[in-house]
Amino acid sequence: MRAGRILITPRSLSSGVHPALQPLRDAGYELVCPSPGETPDEATLIEAVGDCIGWLAGVEPVSEAVIDAAVKMKAISRNGSGVDNFPIEALERRGITFHRAEAVNTRGVSELALALTLAGLRNIVATDAGMKSGDWPRRIGHEIDGAEIAVVGLGAIGGAFSDSCLKLGAYVRGFDPFAPDIHGDHPNFRRGSMQETLHGARVLSLHAPMLKEGAPLIGAQEIDLLAPDAVVVNTARAGLVDKDAMLKALESGHVGTYATDVFEAEPPTLDPLLAHPRVVMTSHIGGFTVGSVRKSAGLAVENLLKALN
How is the chain split among helix, strand and coil, in percent rounded to 5?
Answer: 35, 20, 45
Please pick, among 191, 207, 237, 278, the residue that the annotation labels catalytic: 237
* Beta carbons within 10 angstroms of residue 259's beta carbon: 24
284 is catalytic: yes
DSSP-derived 3-state class of residue 175: strand
Q: How far apart are CA 201 and CA 218, in angstroms?
A: 14
Phi first, then psi, for residue 259 (nearest 5°) are: -115, 125
The closest alpha carbon to 122, from 51, 239, 203, belongs to 203
Letter string b/e over residues 118-137, b meaning 16 or more CB atoms within 10 A of that residue's CB: bbbbbbbbbbeebeeeeeee
52-57 and 75-78 strand pairing? parallel
Query: DSSP letters along 82-120, please?
Result: --TTS-HHHHHHHT-EEEE-TTTTHHHHHHHHHHHHHHH
Sheet holding 279-281, edge to edge: 189-191, 171-175, 148-152, 203-206, 230-234, 255-260, 279-281
Closest CA to 305 of 109, 99, 127: 99
Catalytic annotation, pick one of 42, 266, 276, 302: 266
* DSSP tag of 246: H
237 annotated active-site: yes
Catalytic residues: 237, 266, 284
